[in-house]
Structure 1
């Protein structure tokens, strides 16, 4: 147990709820052994919300991973590596080191003197990829100067795949208004600024794109943050490194999302976005690798359990735990105990309703 800030309230370190409304004792079953792995991309501002339902999912599922995600306020980069074929990964996991990943070890960081990125590899493994530098600054008539070489910056029209010209070092680069996409036969690299909404779905037509969508991939996000408000000092850090195995799908109601009943393939891994609708939508646009995944949606007009205490933009908008439970049921992962997780969440919502009533009475 611990306290938070200057408030003399004790909190449970396991469920992060105040001790007087701790939910840990409400689970009368061990964590459910879900056969479809779950990864939750959780917006950083959602973690401490008193009604955040991910705490129920974390305590209720055995095969679950939560990845904190922050907004892109300055600059971010994603590097995506396809996995080798026939690698059987049934669950999502953070890639703690590259020895667990069947791909070339590469260290990616922001260039200190350029507006681009450096990709450095083990030269004993692949001399041809020892150092490839991408620079977003365009000089002359569409030519970027890099190490004394002239590399053609190709058309930004993603439909012109056949018109792309192969650059030196097996690198193909295209520049958009607020982001750049580069790819080789081994990886995809996306550099983006604030407000960018990169769409890399067109890369699925390339060899590396086909390998990525069929074999699964590892994605690494690098983020630039300001150290102190009021100064121009920045720090670059690795926000997450995630293995997305083949058979992964994204639960998000995009334009081309399929309903659960239409799925005619085996789903092994479910990715869910956790946040308000506005936050979830921003996470979706700021994580371009999500567009490489099949999209699924829930066909539900039911009212969420937390509709009385938290705003819903429209009917059918459910909490994260509700979305996960209904998605697993729709995909055939009928684990005994799923409805009991919803009961725990319902009791948590009841706690919040009582707290609001008590606060209102105290004010009057």
Structure 2
């Protein structure tokens, strides 16, 4: 018996809010509002006062460590953050959110049963002749990226740079993810996880076989997409989000040791934290470097906090 959908939140072609990194409006924040952002709240689980901006305990709040006001980066930053990374004490994306104005965080979960991706062009004047003249590509995948169904037999050809549809999609597209949770052998629950615009000039920072050095990009980068998670989780996000393969891939070619190396395991030199990757990539594509190094200083201090906390715990254990 075929499975059926018990609950569907959001129509596949409906008008759910579309996150566009190039059209975000940043309201002016008054002094009163700024103070409100820095008020603390009691966490229900830890009972520790926590900063509402950086989500760190108030005694090690990161907000006041920024030497400059929030930077107005001209290149938008879109961070696809794995669900398990959000509350990690060493997650560096929090520094991007408080230090870079034009930053968007999209929460992404693993595919445990199935996920459906609906891809459509942002510009109606574009055509997708290779997709039967439709402006929607429908892809359903299973756990770890195995393809379950496609809306067109020519979908694989979209990843070829010689394909006309490939170049149309490079002009900008929107992607909606509907995740499915299996409830029983013939029943699943469906809900919308994200609906985002991927404008022209978007690139993915990911070291694949197709990636080129960030300094060799021959067009203006307007939107930098970064995967936030452990390297194992980042690879899984990449495999389970087929729309990422439609983007130009860039990489950072250097063997710099991450500041993470003191407290968090990295596969090898050159594998950096999210905030380090963002800062170095922004510099490489021509973003004004003034203030960017200050974000790395905040990150270094956060790593130092974690190292001291670890030493304190070990000291208490040794005293028992």
Whether the aligned pair in 1 keeps the contact of 2:129 and 2:165 (CA below 8 Å) is no
The match for 1:14 among 40, 53, 56 is 53
Distance 2:239 2:140 in 1: 13
Please identify the structure whose Cα radius of gyration is greater. Answer: 1
Root-mean-square deviation over aligned CA pairs: 2.5
Q: What whole-Å deviation, never above 9, does each CA across 1:150-186 have from its counterpart, x for those lacking one?
A: xxxxxxxxxxxxxxxxxxxx998xxxxxxxxx76531
The match for 1:338 among 280, 285, 292 is 292
Distance 2:278 2:156 in 1: 25
Distance of aligned partners of 1:247 and 1:193 in 2 relative to their CA distance in 1, 3 Å threshold: same
Whether the aligned pair in 1 keeps the contact of 2:144 and 2:236 (CA below 8 Å) is no
Deviation at 1:81, TM superposition (A): 0.5
Deviation at 1:10, TM superposition (A): 1.5
Q: What whole-Å deviation, never above 9, does each CA across 1:106-154 have from its counterpart, x for those lacking one?
A: xxxxxxxxxxxxxxxxxxxxxxxxxxxxxxxxxxxxxxxxxxxxxxxxx
Provide the secondary structure at the position in 2 that maps to 1:195: helix
Distance 2:282 2:226 in 1: 12
Whether the aligned pair in 2 keeps the contact of 1:39 and 1:270 (CA below 8 Å) is yes
Query: What 5-or-longer segments of structure 1 have no aligned partner?
Result: 87-101, 104-169, 173-181
Deviation at 1:306, TM superposition (A): 1.3
* Aligned equivalent of 1:316: 270
Distance of aligned partners of 1:331 and 1:201 in 2 relative to their CA distance in 1, 3 Å threshold: farther
Provide the secondary structure at the position in 2 that maps to 1:7: coil
Q: Does 1:224 align with 2:180?
A: yes
Deviation at 1:269, TM superposition (A): 0.8
* Aligned equivalent of 2:253: 299
Deviation at 1:342, TM superposition (A): 0.3
Deviation at 1:222, TM superposition (A): 0.4
* Aligned equivalent of 2:305: 351
Whether the aligned pair in 2 keeps the contact of 1:185 and 1:208 (CA below 8 Å) is no
Q: Does 1:240 align with 2:194?
A: yes
Q: Which moved more, 1:68-77 or 1:204-213?
A: 204-213
Q: Does 1:212 align with 2:169?
A: yes
Provide the secondary structure at the position in 2 that maps to 1:285: helix
Deviation at 1:27, TM superposition (A): 1.3
Deviation at 1:233, TM superposition (A): 5.8
Distance of aligned partners of 1:238 and 1:295 in 2 relative to their CA distance in 1, 3 Å threshold: same
Whether the aligned pair in 1 keeps the contact of 2:145 and 2:241 (CA below 8 Å) is no
